[in-house]
Structure 1
């Protein structure tokens, strides 16, 4: 008799627990399912979306690049380490453009970015953060800062400072 009562109590407890999980946890925003990835700037999170104009004035949306690896590089024309890494970035783009897209987000569009790009023979897309919103969203404090985004839009790596060609190749792996 005692065994049946204990068994019934355990069964009732399991049913209550299951009901609680079903009805209350589903509405709890802190109960994030494993298949859902939040947006943010940390490794393992979805890269925050943005739409910026390129040097030709055309709008470019990050979501257009889903299905491709992306290297997002924040830089400025006045920044010595940024200028230093541009030749390596161009070489990297030419040798890896089939497997990764570079989006170089310029943070000083009031300067003549187009002339800078032409003078340095840069062929990768340069986007202009005219309002500074993307810089704030990605919490860019130091430049250059580079993010590697996977084919699903998830941040794989973040690098602060200039990079050599070899470092760019290593980040891609």
Structure 2
């Protein structure tokens, strides 16, 4: 009788253990696998999202063949001028400063280009200097091209200017054709303008 009771208890324990395994441990494992798959998918989605965001941040706003950003600044007469005002014309955007030795050397050639070449308009963007300082420099030099005042340096930063002078040659549709960091001669400028005409 006692042996029967022990056997019965053992069988009950085996049954309970088997039932517990079937309903709890197995489900838990399957759920865990499902959760692992979901977590892996979420991780891949996040990774893909991060890559897209990174790619969009890495893309430079200024690149040859791309449209350059428009900007609006005041000229020496206090009138607002925009790059879009020159749409339909080739434009040389020249970032410069009155204190810059190489800008000073380059200025007469920019004046010559502006005066002798009807195919291009010069827009000289002075960076972070006072209006009176710039006006005196332009008047004393006898320069006649359009000057715009980037008083806070925002346009220069947008255009990724890292040194002065820096020149951007933009075609009639606002597309960047050439970017030249550093001083240029008249002949160098003219070659770029001729290249723009032969596109």
TM score, norm. by length of structure 2: 0.66
**Runs of 4+, deviation exceeding 4 Å:** none
Shift of 1:40: 2.5
TM score, norm. by length of structure 1: 0.75
Aligned to 1:163: 184
Indicate the structure (1 or 2) with the bigger Cα radius of gyration: 2
Report if the CA contact (8 A) 1:77-1:108 is conserved: no
Shift of 1:95: 0.2
How many residues are treated as equivalent by the alignment?
136
Shift of 1:171: 1.3
CA distance in 1, matches of 2:171, 2:81: 18
SS for the counterpart of 1:146 is strand
Report if the CA contact (8 A) 1:50-1:134 is conserved: yes
Aligned to 1:34: none
1:75-86 aligned within 5 A = 75-86=96-107
Report if the CA contact (8 A) 1:93-1:124 is conserved: yes
Shift of 1:163: 0.8
Q: Which protein has greater RCO, CA pairs closer than 8 Å, 6+ apart?
A: 1
Unaligned 5+ segments in structure 1 are 1-29, 31-37
Matched, 1:68 2:92: no
CA distance in 1, matches of 2:167, 2:104: 14
Q: 1:116 aligns with which of 123, 131, 137?
A: 137
- The Cα offsets for residues 81-129 of structure 1, whole Å up to 9 and x where unpaired, read as 0000001111111001x21110000013226000000010000001000
How big is the alpha-carbon RMSD for the aligned residues of Structure 1 and Structure 2? 1.6
